[in-house]
Amino acid sequence: MPLYYFTINNTNGTFNIVLKKNNCEVIARSEDKIRGDINTVIEDINEVASSKSKERFEISTDKSGNYRFRLKRENGEVLLVSEPFANRGVLEEVIDEIVSTVHESRVEMVNS
């Protein structure tokens, strides 16, 4: 099942990206408000995520003991941060789903 990007255009010229499953479950979101061309950023996310290079997905444990991933560019810039997952296995399944379907993702834009 393909994923989709829900983008929020802010009034100050920045935007946020939310990566969702088709059932509207949020998987990950941009850490900060982003400036620049939204299509370029989404293309970068697709390229990094579909590179089959799982080391781009940095898995960590948050203060609550939940697992999260950060999708990073080669230069270390964080593109997306996942929602918390109680089970590492489920998180790894989500990463596999992103790697295998992100190139099919559609984009839905809204203004805030």
pLDDT digits (tens, 9 = 90+) for 69-103: 998 888 888 889 999 999 999 999 998 888 888 77
67 or 7, higher pLDDT? 67
Other residues' Cβ atoms within 10 Å of the Cβ of residue 38: 16
- What CA–CA distance (Å, rounded) separates 67 from 69? 7
- What CA–CA distance (Å, rounded) separates 44 from 41? 5
Q: Is 20 exposed, middle or buried (0-12, 13-18, 19+ CB in 10 A)?
A: middle
49 or 67, higher pLDDT? 67
Q: Give the pTM.
A: 0.81
Q: Does position 49 have pLDDT exceeding 90, yes or no?
A: no
Residue ranges of domains in the chain, CATH in brackets: 4-111 (2.30.29.80)
pLDDT at 65: 96
